Structure 1
Amino acid sequence: MSPGLQQVLAAHLPDYCVTHRLDARQSRVCTHILQCRTEALGGYQLACDRCDHDQTQYLSCRDRHCPLCQQRASRQWAEAQQQAVLPVAYHHLVFTLPDTLNGWVRLRPDALYRALFAAVWQTLKAFAADPKRLGGRLGMTAVLHTWGQTLIQHVHLHCLVPGGVLTEQGSWKAASSRYLFPVRALSRHFRGHLVHRLRQLFEAGELSRVTAADVSERLDALMAKEWVVFSRPCEQATRSVVNYLARYSHRTAISNQRILAMDEETVSFRYKDYGDDKKTKVMHLVHEEFIRRFLLHVLPQGLMKIRHLGYLANCCRKKRLVQIRAAIAQAETAEAEPEQAANPVGPELEGWACPVCQGGRLRIVAELPPRRPGGG
């Protein structure tokens, strides 16, 4: 059986901490992952109501960095978002933070991530509001990712955008372009807005430990380069677009399925090489480097990595969706039937089929309190 992230951390995090200092946030995340579905979090004792089978089910940590928890969270999120799906074409766009800013991200991740969200939304909102383009109000769901396939730092936003706007008159205007907006124009507007916002952050004292010379040199160099924005229409049926985004919404830096092996020196994992025709390859990293790369992607406490903006914002979504559907004059998309979770927690375990006799149902017969290290 292949090891997972939990097993890698359990075996090698203590040695890593001898030579590396974890901040409070990184330490908390690692503790959650190590305790996930163990007696440390408590759980339930289950018994079949037909045969003699019994089993213990420990609780999940539900940390957003834990690969054990996020598959189920992704399903739940998709089910909750189905009611917001519109019967229109959708577009998937990706905006990437230049890698020359990675050092600033490590110093002030909260400020850089906020700037990225703001620059992307202001860019798309401005293009949608332009009367020469669509001339209305846009909606967007954006998901922050900070990694590449090899766990390097690669900060970018995945955006799912309905192909149309709500006009001031309350009518719906569909986008005519297959790619929503010209990507070259998008990239230049995004570049200018983000660089301007970063200068403002520095002047406001929010980029601590970054010098004025570094700001001037680095941002001037970025303005001299062409940036790339990825854009493509979603080919999925309308009712499937949320499931499409759910593949990105709760993805962790590395899933357990990608970790292939661990020996005394290295961790081996599978990755997709986009520079070589998307071929699947295997990378071998020493334990120290694997853990270092994973910790690059621990997000600041309280940062919202998934955001709904425009007419999809939580404060007005319900009202605007009714208005848009009426304008489109189509019935609301039927909600997808919820899938059964693979790893239930808590009372949701009640009534699951017995894995031994198949005819009985598992019932909770006892609650197991959390067991702290060193406890009896």
Structure 2
Amino acid sequence: MSTFIDLLHQHGAKLAPLLGADAKRAMYAMLRCKTEQQGQSHWQCEHCPHHDQLTLSCGHRHCPQCQHHCTTGWLTRQQHKLLPTTYFMVTFTLPYELRALARVQSKALYQIMFKVASSLLKDFAKRQNKGELGFTAVLHTHSRQRNLHPHLHVLVAGGRYHVAKQQWHHTNKQYLFNAFALAKVWRGRMLDAINHHKALPLPKAIPAKWVVDCRNVGFGLPALQYLSRYLYRGVLPDNDIISTHNGQVSFRYQDSQSHTTKIRTLPTLQFLKLILQHVLPKGLQRVRDYGFLRGNAKQVLRRIQLLLRVPQRVNLTALQTDNNSATRPCPCCQHPMHCTGISRTS
């Protein structure tokens, strides 16, 4: 069992009254995960008499025991979209003074962040009049110490596609947009959008300078792997929890300034609240594709791949799957086992 979920089993009764609705829903899903309460799947080998029963996972996107296939699946799909060009990572950060809004109206605030960041990048590209951008935005909500720190990582392909001319224009390998100009417009548009939202009161003290980072990240794959790390399996891997003794939990993290490994220790309930504060609101889409990478632009992306002589990839796994039926290897003979049904406790 996951160390984090084991702590939830021990302290869930005390923790529940301290949580909001979304965090509480996530906690109860994790407590049921891979237990008889969640239910069982039944398996039968097609070659030998062996049959088996497995407890079901909860499927919650923040559960450390689930969703590994979702992470690998997303990474595979994004790899199929990679182009042979330089990529840039643009990071839009909220200042400390506005992070309190994420505790009370997280869904509204995060939706605004996506809307403003995407429109900003599209407008900067329009000014250069070289065509359409393609980019993927991923919401992260935590710092390395796992404090609340909402920010958007946006992976931008280093080139533009001119739809009318059907031409691809490579971006300068060292420069996408001016980060200081991005930060200035990011601040103005975010404050304007928050001001026009009735449920998001602005604090009195707002810093004059905000931070946007824009840097070259090479050919994209390492950046995709970084973005996928916390998408569907919580914000703290179990192997980073190093101690759970005497009512205290210690975990390690890498300090961003010194690049050294440090240890943070908290009382158990405080630690659990720290992690569960990053549970996203129900229905909020954490990853979004824009421009020629969006879901309904597959034909446009394929034209770009043809222009750049990208070989067409075939998803062999999908071709080998028979009607999407669930299979797993038999531990006795290694032939496929098929799921014959699911039973749940009432």
TM class by smaller structure: 0.7 to 0.9
Measured against aligned partners, the alpha-carbon deviations of 1:197-251 in whole angstroms (never above 9, x if no partner) come to: 22222xxx232xx3xxx54x23xx33x22x2222322334x66764454335435
* CA 1:365–1:183: 2 relative to 1, 3 Å: closer
1:320 to 291, 294, 300: 300
CA distance in 2, matches of 1:256, 1:46: 29
In the alignment, is the contact (CA less than 8 A) between 2:2 and 2:65 conserved in 1? Answer: no
Q: For residue 283 of structure 1, give the secondary structure of its aligned residue in structure 2.
A: strand
CA RMSD, Structure 1 to Structure 2 (Å): 2.8
Structure 2 residue 267 is the aligned partner of structure 1 residue 286: yes
Which consecutive residues of structure 2, in runs of 5 or more, have no partner in the other structure? 319-323
TM-score by length of structure 2 reads 0.87
Structure 2 residue 182 is the aligned partner of structure 1 residue 172: no
Question: Paired residue for 1:259?
Answer: 241
Q: For residue 302 of structure 1, give the secondary structure of its aligned residue in structure 2.
A: coil
In the alignment, is the contact (CA less than 8 A) between 2:254 and 2:262 conserved in 1? Answer: yes
1:129 to 116, 126, 129: 126
2:240 maps to a residue whose letter is R
The range that moved more, 280-289 or 179-188, is: 179-188
1:102 positional shift: 1.3
CA distance in 1, matches of 2:145, 2:264: 8
CA distance in 2, matches of 1:96, 1:46: 47
* CA 1:177–1:240: 2 relative to 1, 3 Å: closer
Percent same amino acid among aligned pairs?
31
1:157 positional shift: 0.8
1:70 maps to a residue whose letter is Q
TM-score by length of structure 1 reads 0.80
1:32 to 6, 29, 44: 29
In the alignment, is the contact (CA less than 8 A) between 2:65 and 2:233 conserved in 1? Answer: no
Measured against aligned partners, the alpha-carbon deviations of 1:50-82 in whole angstroms (never above 9, x if no partner) come to: 899765421111111111113321101122333
* CA 1:50–1:233: 2 relative to 1, 3 Å: same
Question: Paired residue for 1:299?
Answer: 280
Counting only pairs closer than 5 Å after superposition, residues 28-177 of structure 1 correspond to structure 2 as: 28-46=25-43, 56-131=53-128, 135-167=130-162, 168-177=164-173
In the alignment, is the contact (CA less than 8 A) between 2:19 and 2:273 conserved in 1? Answer: no
Which consecutive residues of structure 1, in runs of 5 or more, have no partner in the other structure? 340-345
CA distance in 2, matches of 1:84, 1:245: 15
In the alignment, is the contact (CA less than 8 A) between 1:139 and 1:309 conserved in 2? Answer: yes
Question: Paired residue for 2:250?
Answer: 268
CA distance in 2, matches of 1:148, 1:186: 22
Measured against aligned partners, the alpha-carbon deviations of 1:162-184 in whole angstroms (never above 9, x if no partner) come to: 10112243311111141422222
2:29 maps to a residue whose letter is H
1:352 to 329, 337, 342: 329
Q: For residue 257 of structure 1, give the secondary structure of its aligned residue in structure 2.
A: helix
Question: Paired residue for 1:11?
Answer: 10
* CA 1:6–1:179: 2 relative to 1, 3 Å: farther
Structure 2 residue 310 is the aligned partner of structure 1 residue 331: yes
Q: For residue 196 of structure 2, give the secondary structure of its aligned residue in structure 1.
A: helix
Question: Paired residue for 1:232?
Answer: 215
Measured against aligned partners, the alpha-carbon deviations of 1:290-343 in whole angstroms (never above 9, x if no partner) come to: 12112211111111111111222223x2122133234x341346468769xxxx
1:149 positional shift: 2.1
CA distance in 1, matches of 2:117, 2:334: 53
In the alignment, is the contact (CA less than 8 A) between 2:66 and 2:233 conserved in 1? Answer: no
Question: Paired residue for 2:199?
Answer: 206
Q: For residue 260 of structure 1, give the secondary structure of its aligned residue in structure 2.
A: strand
CA distance in 2, matches of 1:279, 1:50: 53
CA distance in 1, matches of 2:339, 2:281: 39
* CA 1:338–1:252: 2 relative to 1, 3 Å: farther
